[in-house]
Amino acid sequence: MTPERRKYLVVGGLATLLLILDQWTKVLVREHVKPLGYAGMSVIGDVIRFQYVENTGITFGMFRSLPYAQLILSAVAIPVFLLVIHLVRQSPADHYRLHVALGLVGAGIGNLIDRVRLGSVTDFVVADFGFWPVNPWYAFNVADAALVVGAILMAFDSRRPQPAPVPAPAPSQGD
């Protein structure tokens, strides 16, 4: 397999795997956690619990009260997805960290599917560390986590010094 094809496999494969995991966990939550009501269920003591939340905002429930939030967020998601495709196409074949980051960001398509299909995003992971400024933390899902990790990886990758271009060999004189 060529390095060029490998980058598409990494980005597409990771995004697809996370999309499937995201949608599957949301189905499980709607079937098994939603009936439990607001309390949800404990996963790791009082620190991590699953709680069904219909999120009409963006990641971590922000901007829920924004008028036309669903329409705006859906309209923004499409150009972002097209930007991810553009970045993949323009990236060097050996830029593996960027490809992983873009695959993680591409997993956010799961939230767009929820917005279009259900009118809201199903969130369910609630973290309560007991000391965080926002405590408990907003509910989130697999796609949210992938988006955040992908954005962080992209930020770190953008700060990494790029290798200097290799100069072309000088033409030989006298051959």
Of 114, 123, 128, 157, catalytic: 123
Residues near 43 by Cβ (< 8 Å), separated by ≥ 6? Answer: 49, 50
Q: State pLDDT tens for residues 9-25.
A: 888 899 999 999 999 99
* % of the chain with per-residue pLDDT over 90: 14
Let me know if 144 is a catalytic residue: yes
Let me know if 114 is a catalytic residue: no
Of 22, 128, 144, 157, catalytic: 144
Going from the C-alpha of 87 to that of each of 6, 12, 98, 103, 119, the distances in angstroms are 15, 13, 9, 11, 29
Q: State pLDDT tens for residues 86-104.
A: 888 888 888 888 888 888 8
Single pTM value for the model = 0.77
